């Protein structure tokens, strides 16, 4: 295990000795479900080429527009109900917003009036899919039963990808993938990985950031200086750390921090511990290059959807603070048996 930020970054940037393919790496896990193209497209030369062609898909501007188009009505309704004096469940709203976004990414046909239940079912399916990796800290080898279950879920969720890829507008992810020259296989794989990596992680980060602003008393600072929203997003993601543990397979013998690691072994990178070693949530915390975006990984496998996650959290914080009045937490409960620490409910009202 490694929990020191500079050491973790060194491993994530050392592609000669560490890989996400092979036992212990997340690529090995998803290759069993998504197929052999994972090893071709998500490491080595194939991955570098894919990222080059996909680099403009998730700019900060594109990501904010994507979040607003897919889930803007969820945030707007939340802000309106808060301003009217109602109580709002932030955790439930976050799940709905992510469900709408993921449905959009997968090419599922939704309209602004689509039933919430459809989007929440998509969110729940994404959570079930990610939960199949719950024991990956022990081994990334999945049983045949888990693989079969995962493939059934994935087939259902990605059924709209081929049609959407062929005809979607360039304001959608799949449409932009097509215009960027990605193949259907590449676009489908990208959408599938975003489904796995960006479902419960994003919903958790939104709710936990709102709770952290309240619990530390720093919502007052944000309300007085709205430009601090970027600091709130960064600190929320740092403390929550969407990827709390990252696994890597040792592909060649190497000495790391005085310890000899041998080919075929695995290493667990404790990003949650590394990110939180700096201290608690603090809007005044200066930028620390040691942990810069470490909650999204590092190196050539830095989360491609990181700008989308930032946009989701920023949009939630903006919605809750839109009335420019402090909010209070009416009640909260914690989710059980989940991969990522999350709120089952986080009910707030304006103070």
CATH of the domain at 249: 1.10.630.10
Selected residue with higher pLDDT from 10 and 49? 10
For residue 52, what are the CA distances in angstroms to 34, 55, 169, 293, 347?
Answer: 22, 5, 21, 20, 42
Q: Are 43 and 51 in contact (CB under 8 A)?
A: no
Selected residue with higher pLDDT from 300 and 91? 91
Rounded percentage of the chain residues whose pLDDT exceeds 90: 55
For residue 2, what are the CA distances in angstroms to 138, 244, 296?
Answer: 16, 12, 16
pLDDT in tens, 61-90: 989 999 999 999 999 999 999 999 999 999
> How many angstroms separate the CA atoms of 350 and 325, rounded?
7
Query: What range defines the domain where residue 153 resides?
Result: 5-350
Please provide the average confidence, as pLDDT, over all residues in the chain.
Answer: 90
pLDDT greater than 70 at residue 316: yes
> How many angstroms separate the CA atoms of 229 and 244, rounded?
23
> How many angstroms separate the CA atoms of 248 and 251, rounded?
9
> How many angstroms separate the CA atoms of 313 and 266, rounded?
32
Tokens of 278: 């700096």
- The β-bridge relationship of strands 343-350 and 327-334 is antiparallel
- One-letter-per-residue 3-state SS of the chain: CECCHHHHHHHHHCCCCEECCCCCCHHHHHHHHHCCHHHHHCCHHHHHHHHHHHCCCCCHHHHHHHHHHHHHHHHHHHHHHHHCCCCEEHHHHHHHHHHHHHHHHCCCCCCCCCCHHHHHHHHHHHHHHHHCCCCCCCCCCCCHHHHHHHHHHHHHHCCCHHHHHHHCCCCCHHHHHHHCCCCHHHHHHHHHHHHHHCCHHHHHHHHHHHHHHHHCCCHHHHHHCHHHHHHHHHHHHHHHCCCCCEEEEECCCEEECCEEECCCCEEEECHHHHHHCCCCCCCCCCCCHHHCCHHHCCHHHCCCCHHHHHHHHHHHHHHHCCCCCCEEEEEEEECCCCCCCCEEEEEEEEC
CA 259 to chain centre: 32
> How many angstroms separate the CA atoms of 307 and 249, rounded?
27
pLDDT in tens, 12-34: 999 999 998 889 888 888 888 88
Of the pLDDT bands very low, low, confident and very high (cuts 50, 70, 90), residue 329 is very high
pLDDT value for 169: 83
pLDDT value for 90: 98
pLDDT in tens, 162-195: 988 898 888 788 888 888 888 888 888 888 878 8
Q: Which residue is it, tokens 């960064």?
A: 234
Say what the pTM is. Answer: 0.92
Of the pLDDT bands very low, low, confident and very high (cuts 50, 70, 90), residue 157 is confident
> How many angstroms separate the CA atoms of 17 and 254, rounded?
7
Tokens of 279: 């201290």
Q: For 90-104, what is the mean pLDDT?
A: 94
Tokens of 66: 């994507």
Task: State how many domains the chain has.
Answer: 1
Bridge partners of 255? 260
For residue 208, what are the CA distances in angstroms to 94, 127, 187, 191?
Answer: 10, 17, 31, 25
Q: What's the alpha-carbon Rg for the chain, to the nearest Å?
A: 20
Q: Which residue is it, tokens 């992680």?
A: 201
45 CB contacts (<8 Å, ≥6 apart)? none
pLDDT in tens, 236-295: 999 999 889 999 999 999 999 999 999 999 999 999 999 999 999 999 998 888 888 999
Q: Are 48 and 26 in contact (CB under 8 A)?
A: no
pLDDT value for 174: 87
Q: Is the dihedral of CA 58, 64, 67, 70 positive or negative?
A: negative
């Amino acid at each position: 295990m490694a929990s020191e930020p500079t050491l973790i970054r060194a491993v994530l940037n050392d592609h000669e000795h560490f890989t996400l393919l092979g036992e212990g790496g997340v690529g090995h896990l998803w290759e069993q479900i998504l197929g052999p193209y994972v090893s071709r497209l998500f490491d080595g030369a194939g991955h570098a080429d894919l990222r080059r062609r996909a680099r403009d898909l998730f700019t900060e501007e594109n990501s904010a527009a994507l979040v607003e188009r897919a889930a803007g009505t969820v945030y707007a309704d939340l802000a309106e109900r808060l301003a009217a004096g109602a109580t709002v469940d932030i955790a439930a709203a976050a799940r709905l917003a992510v469900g709408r976004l993921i449905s959009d990414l997968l090419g599922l046909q939704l309209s602004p009036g689509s039933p919430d239940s459809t989007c929440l079912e998509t969110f729940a399916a994404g959570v079930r899919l990610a939960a199949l990796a719950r024991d990956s800290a022990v081994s990334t080898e999945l049983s045949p039963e888990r693989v079969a279950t995962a493939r059934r879920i994935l087939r259902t969720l990605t059924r709209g990808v081929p049609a959407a890829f062929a005809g979607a507008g360039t304001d959608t992810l799949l449409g932009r993938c097509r215009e960027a020259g990605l193949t259907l296989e590449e676009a489908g794989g990208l959408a599938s990985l975003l489904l796995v990596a960006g479902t419960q992680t994003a919903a958790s980060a939104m709710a936990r950031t709102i709770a952290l602003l309240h619990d530390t008393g720093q919502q007052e600072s944000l309300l007085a200086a709205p430009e601090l929203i970027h600091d709130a997003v960064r600190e929320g993601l740092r403390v929550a750390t969407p990827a709390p543990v990252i696994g890597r397979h040792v592909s060649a013998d190497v000495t790391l921090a005085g310890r000899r690691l041998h080919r075929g072994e695995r290493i667990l990178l404790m990003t949650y511990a590394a990110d939180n070693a700096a201290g608690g949530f603090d809007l005044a915390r200066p930028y620390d290059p040691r942990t810069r975006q470490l909650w999204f990984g590092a190196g050539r496998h830095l989360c491609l959807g990181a700008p989308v996650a930032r946009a989701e959290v920023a949009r939630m914080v903006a919605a809750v603070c839109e009335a420019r009045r402090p909010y209070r937490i009416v009640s909260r409960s914690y989710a059980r048996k989940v991969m990522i620490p999350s709120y089952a409910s986080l009910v707030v009202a304006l103070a």
